[in-house]
Amino acid sequence: MTQSSKTMAGVSFVKRPGRNAVSDNAPVEKTVSEVLDAVRTRGDAAVSEYSMKFDQADLAAFEVSDAERQKALDDLDPQSRADTQFAIDNVRAFAEAQLATILPLEVEPLPGVHMGHRVIPMERVGCYVPGGRYPLLSAPVMTIVPAKVAGVGEVVACLPPNAHPAMIAGCHLSGADRIFRIGGAQAIAAMAFGTESVPSVDKIVGPGNAFVNEAKRQVFGPIGIDQLAGPSEIFVLADETVATDMLAQAEHDVRTRVGLITTDEALAKAVEAEVDRQLKDLSTAETAGTAWRDYGEIALCEDEAAMIAYSDHIAAEHLQVHTADAHGLAKKLRNYGSLFIGELASVVYSDKCSGTNHTLPTMAAGRYTGGLWVGTYVKIATHQWLTADGVKQVAPPAARQAATEGMEGHRRAAQMRLDRLQA
């Protein structure tokens, strides 16, 4: 039984997924560990070897030059450039609005006890930009633009050597300070440890394949990461229409998880038939059809409560609400990556250009985290300072607690300040 098709009260299945996206993740841990160790110890030389081995790329230099940036821009057709700029503007505007809600703090909870926090941008962030099956023009926008809005000192972008040149243009327009043609686990290693060419970063963000994901997992600790992203997901809560949106997400990858959660049996069966019909003339049917066959599901729920419970269990990356009272139902949901309320709010708009971020938690991570946002790139760091009145407030209980715990050094540190004031 797959994670998503776990039996729950009030839920049955018109279609179950045939495979499990979690267990199907190829065992890549050993390979990634070898790549990380090689790059850590041999730097650029190891990056070159793996670039040739995995990407068939023999590069004289990893970093994209100013001239190469300009050529990528010049070669980008005017409409694509305008559309990319439209996406950048919208993502920037939303990120700026979000940043305005993250405020510094200064409070005095007790007389003479002052504390607060600062909002501090990170010094250097690495953005992994996937090449993908298609030139994903929105990918650099989603990771780089919020970083620049947050005030990150330097944004480093890595993308596979065989990525479409338009992706270089996208990185440039989004504000990347440095761009490197390095993909896969070797890119994560280079940004984590630093090489002769690539500077080490404080945090790595952005989606990628299983090797990229595993590399992020292994470097995490001294290096921050945004999240571990699995295959893309879209689920729809509906009491009526949906097949087209499900297939739009399914064409991303053969391992995309797509599903319908509904209380309407007739709709469930109609959607299953409609998906099969649309696959017959969909240009990306080879990918979307495989995803639907292996990971697609249709869950039939006895009532709204069961529908909400099952949706919260799945915690889908993209969750569309197509019900009579979409806004009312949306307020009852807790677990998801990003929510799309009403039939006019397509996931595609967010994927491309509307402004909310498309880098989102997958594989049930929406139960404990949201997606990439401007807050990913800042630290909330606390501070405090005390007056003599403040010391008189907190020193006695601190000293007593330390004594109870048997921590004599702590007790002395608390008591000495009070003793000095009373001398």
Q: Are residues 141 and 271 in the same domain?
A: no
Beta bridge partners of 120: 379
**337 and 222 fall within a common domain:** no
Same-domain check for residues 215 and 238: no
Q: Is there a contact between 164 and 131 (Cβ–Cβ < 8 Å)?
A: yes
What's the confidence (pLDDT) of residue 422? 86
Task: Give per-residue pLDDT as tens, 2-46.
Answer: 444 456 888 988 888 876 655 555 578 999 999 999 999 999 999
Same domain, 97 and 139: yes
Q: What is the largest CA-CA distance in the chain?
A: 88
Q: Which domain holds residue 391?
A: 387-422
Domain count, the chain: 3
Residue 3 lies in a domain: no
What residue ranges of the chain have pLDDT lower than 50?
A: 1-5
- Chain centre to alpha carbon of residue 317: 10
Tell me, yes or no, whether 33 and 168 share the same domain: yes
Q: In this structure, is residue 361 part of a structural domain? A: no
Crossing angle, helix 210-219 and helix 29-42, to 10 degrees?
A: 60
pLDDT at 102: 98
Tell me, yes or no, whether 214 and 239 share the same domain. Answer: no
- In sequence order, the β-bridge partners of residue 238 are 262, 322
Based on C-alpha coordinates, what's the Rg of the chain? 25
Q: Which of 172, 317, 322, 358 is catalytic?
A: 317
Give the residue from 208, 228, 248 where a domain finishes: 228
Amino acid type, 61:
A
Q: Which of 242, 234, 249, 206 is nearest to 338 (CA)?
A: 234
Q: How far apart are CA 136 and CA 359, in angstroms?
A: 12
Same domain, yes or no, for 259 and 396? no
Tokens of 423: 């001398």
Same domain, 208 and 245: no
Residue 314 CA: distances (Å) to CA of 104, 304, 308, 372, 406: 35, 15, 10, 19, 47
Q: Which token pair is 309?
A: 């419970």
Residue 364 lies in a domain: no
DSSP character for 260?
E
pLDDT of residue 6: 57
Residue 1 falls inside a structural domain: no
Considering the domain boundaries, does residue 111 fall inside one? yes
> Of the residues 185, 213, 228, which one is the last residue of a structural domain?
228
360 domain residue, yes or no: no
The pLDDT assigned to 165 comes to: 93
79 plus 218 within the same structural domain: yes
pLDDT the model gives residue 293: 85
Q: What is the pLDDT of residue 384?
A: 97
318 is catalytic: yes
Closest CA to 370 of 185, 39, 181, 98: 98
Cα first-last separation, the chain: 71
**Using CB atoms within 10 A of its CB, is residue 277 exposed (0-12), middle (13-18) or buried (19+)?**
exposed
For residues 202 and 243, state if they share a domain.
no
* CA atoms of 226 and 207, how far apart (whole Å): 9
CB 126 within 8 A of CB 191: yes
State the Cα–Cα distance between residues 255 and 368, nearest whole angstrom: 23
DSSP notation for 376-409: GGEEEEEEEEE-HHHHHHHHHHHHHHHHHHT-HH
The residue from 172, 318, 322, 358 that is catalytic is 318
Q: Which run of H or E residues covers position 153?
A: none
Residues 404 and 348 in one domain: no
Q: Is 141 among the domain residues?
A: yes
CA distances from 207 to 142, 194, 195, 210, 336 (A): 10, 20, 22, 10, 17
Residue 108 three-state SS: strand
Q: Are residues 178 and 282 in the same domain?
A: no
In a domain, 370, yes or no: no
**The pTM is what?**
0.89
Q: Which residue, 212, 228, 244, sits at the end of a domain?
A: 228
**Distance, CA of 253 to CA of 35 (rounded, Å):** 25
CATH code: domain of residue 299:
3.40.50.1980
